[in-house]
Amino acid sequence: MVPSASVISDDPSILFNIAGMVQFIPYLTGREPAPFSRATSVQKCVRTEDIEEVGKTTRHGTFFQMNGNFSFGDYFKEGAIRFAWTFLTTPEAEGGLGFDPERLWATVHHEDAETVDLWLKETSLPRERIQFRGSEDNYWHTGQPGPGGYCSEIYFDRGPAYGAEGGPEADEDRYIEIWNLVFMEFELSAVRSKADFDVAGELPAKNIDTGMGLERVAFLKQGVENMYEIDEVFPVIEAASRLSGKRYGANHDDDVRMRVVADHVRAGLIIMGDGVRPGNEGRDYILRRLLRRAVRAMRLLGVSEPVLPELLPVSMEVMKASYPELERDFDRISRVAYAEEAAFLRTLESGTALLAQAVEKAGPAGTLSGEVAFALHDTHGFPIDLTLEMAAEHGVSVDAEGFRTLMSEQRERARADAKAKKGSAKDLSAFSALLERGRTEFIGYDSLSSDARVRGLVRDGEAVERAVPGDTLDLVLDVTPFYAESGGQRADRGLLTGDGFTARVLDVQSPVKGLSAHRVEIVDGEIAAGADVLAQVDSEHRFAAAQAHSATHLVHSALRSLLGPHAVQAGSLNQPGYMRFDYAYGDALSASARAEIEDAANTAVRDNMAVSYEHLPLEAAKASGALALFGEKYPEIVRVVDIGGPFSRELCGGTHVGSTAEVGPISVLSEASVGSGTRRIEAAVGLEAFRGLAKERTVLQSLSEMLKVPGADVPERVSSLMERLREAERTIAELGRARVLAAAAGAVESAREVNGVRVSATDLGQVADAGDVRTFVTDVRARMGEAPAVVAAAGSVNGKPSVVVAVTPEAQALGLRAGDLVKEACGVLGGGGGGKPDLAQGGGQDASKISAALDAVAAAAGRR
């Protein structure tokens, strides 16, 4: 039995594991030898391509569990069919699922007559309940180059109440697929669609991949109508019903929303459980979208207050039996989720204000443009269905077609980008071939140099025999002291030398598990595959990187000690002289907390704690108190880094100093938010920390000399000067406003009549801000009495023109609108503006045209 891999995919072209076999792809393709000939698993999967259909049908779900049976070169079609039929039809009391064999159907690929014969030979299934189907249904692949093959699906007949007779070909609502046997025997070189692909040849061994959808079998066995009503999902629907006061089953639209809530809350729970945090890119964005769609659906059910604190614990309670880590980690998970909901509710609040402005501009019975709806959705995260609902409340329609067009264009750009990324993914076949000749032995924990042999050279994904000066390519050794980048630690650098050649090591990566690829630049001579080399790590670079990595462990421990165990690592970067550490926490650190963490880490440095290592089985390491990081995949035997006994104990494959004193000073540079519920600490380490502090000392000394005060008094002196400066600025602003208001009486007297309207137009010259212009205009308008009047004024704010127009009620009755008039002025100034009928403002680029802009307002007022 193999436990579920993380829902996070190792494949950079796939955000989440979308099938039960994903973790076994290296074994199925032969890139890595399978550690077992057979396996059984329950794999967590997430598919989001049909996210908009979730809840609308009962067949679409975001998170699901795929039960799998796998054979790696062991049994094939005959055994797979026999095992599947036996398990499905054996009574529950005898360990099977107890399905009635008279209600089972099978489909096979139309070119796979052999499988039909095996169904008839191995089972009691009659020929009339076996149907041929095309590649769209009965050929399996991952959607990209890799393993593939014919498949045979098993369906359960729910009965005539659910649809038409005739098997899966006739009705897949009545006939529900519960099992898929994939006969994986081919390597696909190109995949253009589900049914259009190129077969490069056969796999090294014929393999079996069984897929049984746990949720589908569960709803059939539990006697409910669909997967949303099973015991792992329906309690969330019940909670949503209780919170909203809406009864499930009473209204189709409400039912859809409750199903969306149940699906997305569960999917979000699982994804966060595997270490993902909401964000704006990749899988982080998918998680954010799921959580926000759940909150949005509850809002449409009439619940406006936070809902995840009520719903998420319900989902955890029903899922913890299958995944106990959800309960252990729920404090972390819930903090992330609740912070995301709070952020989204603030977004909804700001989006509501923007929508209100757009509705007012559209006017009664108007139409909100697709561009506005798209901007609300794309920039502010405002859901389109909420836009439609709220616009309708104000009697305003929405150009939904325009919105959909813009969304479609965005999706096409996203697909093109994803396709480009997928297409540019590195071809690993050359590295896989080298791995077949043996793994790279890493000896860098104990030695910084070693004799080694060049196992192979790879340039642009192709194996080459030799490299010459000026070439930059990947080089694989049988033994290496070079640390390959992983766990946030940058790779080693150094030199490879041999008989007549020298190569500079620029980077080291692990393109396939067990192999180190050294990115080298050939300095002189010629290197060929099979050559003997001396591999030498740059000891200064290694030591500085080790300092940073050990400093990260110290800062992590200090954070957890101060903030609590939920402040766990969410990412890191360790390189010479610098460490960056992301951690889960919702609030900013106070200055005193930041200083306390810095002090605790440096105290650990002063105490010269021993840094030791041991290798333990994973579960034994966890039981010993070693901290395992979320989202990381660990082997069965792990390396435990212990610093000072109880001070810090983590699973870590990185390199470290021998004792904490070797870390040197740790100087925290910044602490800031990098996303909802995630904070980041950056620090200089070792000699770089000292150099940074020395620069600050020099700056302080310079300020001390300029201000003629001791260094300790510099902050107070600067604060005093800043307050005096602010006071001077306030005085200047007040004088400016007084000057502007003093001109108001003159503006009234100089107003001229234009076509029955009094028009006052004033150039105020330099002003402190646009508020002064606005104050002047409203003051002059108040002095105009009851006559129809237009008041315009403009001033230069930091070299840029600002214009304000006010219109009296009597002038508005004649058809004059401030917003129209200010646009006339802004057109002359090379800018734009707008506002309400009685008051509007705008600006432009060219202050030299203020006089012409004011003339344009007067002329427009006369054309009424």
Q: Give the gyration radius of the chain's Cα atoms.
A: 35
Identify which of 622, 654, 681 has the alpha carbon closest to the alpha carbon of residue 329: 622
Give the rounded distance of the alpha carbon of 99 from its chain centre: 41
Amino acid identity for residue 459 in this structure:
R
Q: CB under 8 Å to 526, separation ≥6 — which residues? A: 466, 467, 468, 469, 500, 501
Angle at 215 between CA 212 and CA 221, to 5 degrees: 90
- Report residue 123: phi and psi, to 5°: -135, 175
Q: Torsion over CA of 294, 298, 303 and 306, rounded to 10 degrees?
A: -10
Residue 202, CA distances (Å) to 28, 137, 196, 471 in order: 11, 21, 17, 35
- Residue (of 338, 377, 321) closest to 354 by Cα position: 377
Contacts of 424 (CB under 8 A, 6+ apart): none
Distance CA 309, CA 341 (A): 9
**Cα-based distances in Å from 789 to 384, 813, 843, 851:** 43, 11, 22, 19
Q: How far apart are CA 428 and CA 322, in angstroms?
A: 35
CA distance 727 to 729: 5
Cα separation of 500 and 56, whole Å? 69
Residues 6+ apart with CB under 8 A from 24: 34, 39, 70, 72, 209
Owner of token pair 């609590």: 564
Whether the Cβ atoms of residue 292 and residue 306 lie closer than 8 Å to each other? no
Return phi, psi of residue 432, to 5°. Answer: -60, -40
3-state DSSP of 647-712: CEEEECCCCCCCEHHHHCCEEEEEEEEEECCEEEEEEEECHHHHHHHHHHHHHHHHHHHHHCCCHH
The answer to whether 380 is annotated as binding is no
Contacts of residue 131, defined as CB under 8 A and 6 or more positions apart, other chains included, come to 105, 106, 107, 108, 167, 168, 169
DSSP 857: H
DSSP characters over 363-401: -TT-EE-HHHHHHHHHHH---HHHHHHHHHHTT-EE-HH
- Residue 110 in marked binding region: no
Amino acid of residue 548: A
N-terminal to C-terminal alpha carbon distance within the chain: 84
Sign of CA dihedral 69, 75, 76, 78: negative
Chain centre to alpha carbon of residue 524: 44
Give the residue from 665, 653, 598, 603 showing the smallest Cα distance to 626.
653
The reply to whether 45 sits in an annotated binding site is no
How far apart are alpha carbons 217 and 197 in whole angstroms? 31
- Alpha helices of 49-154 — where are they, by DSSP H? 77-89, 113-122, 135-138
Residue pair 456/477 in contact by the 8 Å Cβ criterion = no
Residue 556 labeled ligand binder: no
CA distance 655 to 542: 8
Binding residues: 549, 553, 652, 656
Binding residues for Zn(2+): 549, 553, 652, 656
